[in-house]
Copies of this chain bind each other. A is one copy, B any other.
């Protein structure tokens, strides 16, 4: 069945291509834009076709219970095949490029123009006329002479940051299993922030050292900032494949939370870190070239400033959405409500980008806030709709980017293959990952009650697949040869880790003897000593101790936040109990009354829906009350499950 579809689509594709060539001779000038449009359509069509193929194959794999390859791995492989076909077949459709010189006397800016009007003599069939065409700014290029860009099946790198990544990152935030995320907050933050920074600098330093030893001419052109940038981009992980398998197998939720939480946050850290490095480079490259202490601290300031401000914008917009959905009855019109939800989330990205902050980070924290607060206020229709829509968008965006990584290996003109450099890249990436996980796990285990056992550490190490973010950062700047070599290395690391590490996950789980088949509910029950139900769970069994020790398990940070959240944030932003009237001091009563809805006051009867969505709270207010805990844990948690494909 699927074969006939393939045949049909290929036929139509061929028809379109042939038709395109056939018409090329009598192409009209006015049809120029139209022809560009057709090429764009064909490009997009080949990716759509790739994705359809991926979807059908993955269905076949799932149907036949083949599980050695995840859909992202498949998308990459198909991408590679199609890329090779595009590269080595068909006529090369080179882009016509013209060299022109700036000599417009009326132009008086020191910056390059936004648009260029080209006066071009057109040899029409009857008369030779001078026509004017407009060209828009695209960017600086390094070598104008040999610059025959092949437009075949490549896109502007900025598309990744503005179209592909935002839904992926938002979905990650929106589908976070917050209960376990917050419970492991300390470890996640340590791995994500400290770990990623360590990894970046170690990879950067090692790469720089190795490159200096290389005989290649590359060595002379690579600066420490270049390798540091590489360190930052290669330190972001993307464990889609692994999480999908974790999800299927019901791996321990805490391990899941660690892997997922770390990868989500280190994307944010990596993008801001690489941005700071870029800024540092741009500001100071023209001067001495050496290390500048002042500039370094400014870059550090940049890093924290941009990260915190982006986080703030995301959180504020999330809370504003929560407030709107709480205090208006927009939920009576689910379509309006969904539209509002999507628009507010998207505007978070835009506000951050327009303020020169990092939209991706803002959108991540917006997603977390939307899930944590707004979600509770939404109508059922909107909950389902937004969940399903972002799930689908995420699926499409993810598979698109992975098939693009595959295709671009062959079609992107700015690859630079240097085997030694690539080998070094692989080695350093592995060392950097190890330097993130093992030392920090050791330190964390000193203070942490449910320790991170060795097999979990190994799994964390292997979960460090590289993915969309690394690739997007690497392809952003391919001006110099050094950067091109980095793109090639990054692409290969992504491809290899996704296919090999992703495919080996099952075996690794067995190898490391990591328990599978653990239900979320079971896990929650085990906290209360109901051990009858649980499967043996290695070192983690020690957490099934009496409830009173549970408080020790929680990080100080998580405890403070959890209490603040339950007492002030939740009552303010959602319809949950206790209300602000109960938690705020008496003097604030008038304000508290204003901020408490009647629904909130009278919800005793309709407790269930709110309890349900509340069950992901990191700390229940009445943490000691055994009965209450039992009641909440007996209810299945309807939180959004990450990658359910």
Name A's B-contacting residues (CB within 8 A): 1-2, 5, 8-9, 12-13, 15-16, 19-20, 23, 27-34, 36-38, 41-42, 44-45, 48-49, 51-52, 55-56, 58-59, 62-63, 95-104, 106-107, 109-127, 131-142, 144, 147, 149, 151, 158, 162, 282-283, 286, 313, 316, 320, 323-324, 327-330, 332-333, 335-336, 338-340, 342-344, 346-347, 350-351, 353-356, 359, 381, 384-385, 388-389, 391-392, 395-396, 399, 644-645
CB-CB nearest 7 A-B residue pairs: A135-B135, A98-B113, A16-B354, A45-B350, A41-B353, A41-B354, A132-B144
A30-B332 contact given A109-B96, A112-B120, A120-B112, CB 8 Å threshold: no
| Interface pair A97/B116, CB less than 8 Å apart | yes
Give the complex CA separation of A568 and B63 in angstroms: 29
Point out the residues of chain B lying under 8 angstroms from A396, CB to CB. 339, 342-343
| Interface pair A102/B117, CB less than 8 Å apart | no
Point out the residues of chain B lying under 8 angstroms from A328, CB to CB. 1-2, 56, 59, 63
Point out the residues of chain B lying under 8 angstroms from A116, CB to CB. 97-100, 116, 118, 135
| Interface pair A55/B340, CB less than 8 Å apart | yes
Point out the residues of chain B lying under 8 angstroms from A395, CB to CB. 335, 339
User: In chain B, what residue has the closest Cβ to A36?
Assistant: B137
Nearest CB in chain B: distance from A58 CB, A: 6
Which of B38, B58, B140, B359 sits near A29, CB closer than 8 Å?
B140
Which of B114, B131, B355 sits near A95, CB closer than 8 Å?
B114
Give the complex CA separation of A103 and B124 in angstroms: 18
| Interface pair A102/B121, CB less than 8 Å apart | yes
A282-B31 contact given A100-B104, A120-B112, A122-B110, CB 8 Å threshold: yes
A-B pairs with beta carbons under 8 Å apart, 8 shown: A30-B282, A51-B343, A52-B347, A99-B119, A100-B101, A100-B102, A100-B116, A388-B389
| Interface pair A391/B335, CB less than 8 Å apart | yes
Nearest CB in chain B: distance from A512 CB, A: 29
A340-B56 contact given A48-B346, A122-B110, A356-B23, CB 8 Å threshold: yes
| Interface pair A133/B140, CB less than 8 Å apart | yes
Taking A99-B116, A115-B135, A115-B149 as known contacts, 15 extra A-B pairs with beta carbons closer than 8 A to each other, sorted by chain A number, are A5-B323, A41-B353, A45-B351, A51-B343, A55-B330, A55-B336, A95-B114, A96-B114, A99-B104, A99-B107, A116-B116, A124-B286, A127-B286, A132-B144, A389-B392
Point out the residues of chain B lying under 8 angstroms from A96, CB to CB. 107, 109, 111-115
| Interface pair B115/A144, CB less than 8 Å apart | no
Give the complex CA separation of A323 and B9 in angstroms: 14
User: In chain B, what residue has the closest Cβ to A349?
Assistant: B41
| Interface pair B100/A343, CB less than 8 Å apart | no
| Interface pair A45/B354, CB less than 8 Å apart | yes
| Interface pair B119/A101, CB less than 8 Å apart | yes
Point out the residues of chain B lying under 8 angstroms from A55, CB to CB. 330, 336, 339-340, 343
| Interface pair B30/A140, CB less than 8 Å apart | yes
Point out the residues of chain B lying under 8 angstroms from A149, CB to CB. 115
User: In chain B, what residue has the closest Cβ to A350?
Assistant: B45
| Interface pair A354/B38, CB less than 8 Å apart | yes
Point out the residues of chain B lying under 8 angstroms from A359, CB to CB. 41
Give the complex CA separation of A377 and B645 in angstroms: 20
Point out the residues of chain B lying under 8 angstroms from A107, CB to CB. 96, 98-99
| Interface pair B15/A355, CB less than 8 Å apart | yes
Point out the residues of chain B lying under 8 angstroms from A20, CB to CB. 354, 356
Q: Which of A45, A282, A342, A350 has the most CB of B within 10 A?
A: A350
Which of B98, B111, B137, B333 sits near A102, CB closer than 8 Å?
B98
Q: Which of A41, A124, A135 has the most CB of B within 10 A?
A: A135
Point out the residues of chain B lying under 8 angstroms from A320, CB to CB. 5, 8
Give the complex CA separation of A127 and B286 in angstroms: 9
| Interface pair A97/B120, CB less than 8 Å apart | no
Point out the residues of chain B lying under 8 angstroms from A350, CB to CB. 41-42, 44-45, 48
Give the complex CA separation of A120 and B51 in angstroms: 42
Nearest CB in chain B: distance from A163 CB, A: 11
Nearest CB in chain B: distance from A251 CB, A: 20
Which of B45, B109, B327 sits near A1, CB closer than 8 Å?
B327
| Interface pair B645/A36, CB less than 8 Å apart | no
| Interface pair B133/A136, CB less than 8 Å apart | no
| Interface pair A335/B644, CB less than 8 Å apart | yes
Nearest CB in chain B: distance from A150 CB, A: 11
Point out the residues of chain B lying under 8 angstroms from A45, CB to CB. 347, 350-351, 354
| Interface pair A137/B392, CB less than 8 Å apart | no
Point out the residues of chain B lying under 8 angstroms from A283, CB to CB. 28
Give the complex CA separation of A19 and B123 in angstroms: 48
| Interface pair B336/A645, CB less than 8 Å apart | yes
| Interface pair A388/B384, CB less than 8 Å apart | yes
Give the complex CA separation of A342 and B51 in angstroms: 11
Give the complex CA separation of A336 and B95 in angstroms: 37
| Interface pair B97/A113, CB less than 8 Å apart | yes
Point out the residues of chain B lying under 8 angstroms from A123, CB to CB. 110
Point out the residues of chain B lying under 8 angstroms from A124, CB to CB. 286
Point out the residues of chain B lying under 8 angstroms from A399, CB to CB. 339
Give the complex CA separation of A107 and B36 in angstroms: 19
A125-B286 contact given A97-B114, A99-B106, A134-B141, CB 8 Å threshold: yes
Point out the residues of chain B lying under 8 angstroms from A117, CB to CB. 97-100, 141, 144, 147
Give the complex CA separation of A371 and B46 in angstroms: 25
Give the complex CA separation of A97 and B107 in angstroms: 8
Nearest CB in chain B: distance from A370 CB, A: 15
| Interface pair B351/A111, CB less than 8 Å apart | no
Point out the residues of chain B lying under 8 angstroms from A23, CB to CB. 356
Give the complex CA separation of A314 and B8 in angstroms: 13
Q: Which of A44, A342, A354 has the most CB of B within 10 A?
A: A354
